[in-house]
Every structure is written in structure tokens, then in C-alpha cells.
Amino acid sequence: KPKNLAFAVYNDQVPASKDLNRTSNGHTKGLIVFDEQTGVWIVHSVPRFPEQLHSGQYVFPENARENGQSILCVTFPTSQLETIANHLRLQYPNIYDSYAPEEMLSSHPALSLLLENKFIRTPPWVLMAPLKDIKKNAFLSFAKHGRLDKDVYADVVASSLETSLLASTWRNGPGGRLPAECDQQFTVTNVDGIRFPLGRTNQSLTFSNTEDHSKWAISMQGSKGYVCIGSLNRMKSQFRRGGETLCFRSPVIYKLLYRTVMSVDDCPDA
């Protein structure tokens, strides 16, 4: 383990080789790695990933190859680490590998609490904070506690960004699927299917949200250009789970995702 790096790796579906004697309730997957100047925050949807952290080899788990996945990696200055750590503490992540040098623990109390599994137990049950990466690009981080007991996209993200959303999330599992949210000022429409063109050929790859394990949302209006990538699905079972979505504006990524939308579960016409 590099002695000058602080890191934490978390996943609600830990690798098979990691036999944890405790589990946390957060539906959240990712990792943070920081030194005293900069670091990365990776937010992803991949079960049992990463595994062989200290082997020097990159391994993508076989079980994760059957479905679509999303991975967002952002390089932040270490000045943002305390905010990120507190957002993770609200989510109750399953941390299965971690380390931090004493100097960083003493200068970053929220990081210290996170690595000790001392999570946030008092309201507010949702946190929203602006972040800036090392190139000053703006991000907006949303974290929820399980006690929020709401759909983060419809009840928090859409109203905060002041835009209706198209949400593409995993639609399998317990709890039942959430329909399109049509009763609020800013609606949330479920993406049912996506299509990826394959190069310059006329071929494309299509799959439904029961085959796509990724979790992303984009603004309905192209002028807004918001992209959100996170850990939460639009399923009722997610109401009482902690989780995260990280939002930003990117015309390029927005257009790429928007063009993949093939079918939606939309609100009925008024």
C-alpha cells in the first residue's frame, strides 16, 4: 500500500474474496484515492469491482460483463475530499479496503470518520454540494441517507437542477419499478431501451433497462445539458437505501447519451 495515499473502496456487492463480518445499507459503489494535493473519485455500477487491488493487475469481473455498466472517474483537488467523505458517510457505504496515512487522517476529520465506519446518523437525510475538479469544471454532488425514504431523482435532483430528467437505471430486483414521475413541476421519465451505433456501419447494439445495470440521468432539455451518473435505481427498494449521483454539464456527453435513448416510459399527455 503506498504510504502517501489515502483510499477507500466500497461496494454493496463486495468481491467474493472479501468476507466482511458486517455490511452497510448503502446502495453505492466506488472508490476514492487521494494524496495531499489531488485524487480521484470513481462512481460506478459494477458489482464486485475492483477486486485484486494490490496485485498490479486490472481485472474486470466476469459477472459484470453480462449487463451494461457506468463508470465515472473525476480528478479533484484534495481540498474537496472532506465534502466527498461526508457525502459517503451519509450513504453508509460497504468499505472493504481502505488506508490513510496519519497525517491525512489528522488533517481530514471526515475522512477519518469514514474509514472508521462512523456514518452520519442525524438529519438532514440528503446532502447537496458543489464540487470543482482540478480544471475548475463544476459538479453537483447529491447524497442520500436511507431514511430519506424517497426517490432521489424525482424528489431532489430534478428540482435542484430545475429540469425534467430522462433516467436510465436498472429495473430488476425487489420493491417494484417506479413509474414516470408526472405530478411535479419537473418530471422524471424512465428510459426503457437504448441503442448504440457501432462505428460507421448500419449496425447497432440495443438493450433494455432490464439488461443495463448503469445508473444515469440527463436533462430533458438540451439547453440544460446536465448529466448525472451515480448508484441509485428508480425502484421502490431504493427509497430506504443510501446512495449518490454526481451531476455536471457536458454538451458532448449529453448528446452521446441523449442519442442512445430508443424508448421511454413517458408521462401521458395532459
User: pLDDT by residue (tens digit) across 37-55?
Assistant: 999 999 999 998 898 788 8
Whether 1 maps to a domain, the answer reads: no
Whether 232 maps to a domain, the answer reads: yes
Give me the DSSP letters along the chain. --TT-EEEEE-SS--TT---S--------EEEEE-SSEEEEEEE--TT-S--TTTT-----GGGGSSB--EEEEEEEGGGHHHHHHHHHHH---EEEEE--HHHHHH-HHHHHHHTT----SS-SEEEEEEE-TT--EEEEEEE-GGG-S-HIIIIIHHHHTS-EEEE----STT-B---B-SSSS-EEEEEEEEEE-TTSS-EEEEETTTB---EEEESSTTT-EEEEES--SBGGGTTS-EEEEEEE-HHHHHHHHHHEEEEEPPPP-
User: pLDDT by residue (tens digit) across 228-254?
Assistant: 999 999 999 999 999 999 999 999 999
Question: How many domains, in total, are found in the chain?
Answer: 1
Whether 53 maps to a domain, the answer reads: yes
Whether 153 maps to a domain, the answer reads: yes
Catalytic sites, residue numbers: 213
Whether 36 maps to a domain, the answer reads: yes
pLDDT, tens digit only, all 270 positions of the chain: 677 999 999 999 888 777 665 667 899 999 999 999 999 999 999 998 898 788 888 888 777 787 788 999 999 999 999 999 999 999 999 999 999 999 999 999 999 999 999 999 999 999 999 999 999 999 999 999 999 999 999 999 999 999 999 999 998 877 889 999 999 999 999 999 999 888 777 888 888 878 888 999 999 988 899 999 999 999 999 999 999 999 999 999 999 999 999 999 988 764
Whether 110 maps to a domain, the answer reads: yes
Whether 270 maps to a domain, the answer reads: no
Segments forming the whole domain that contains residue 167: 6-265
Whether 73 maps to a domain, the answer reads: yes
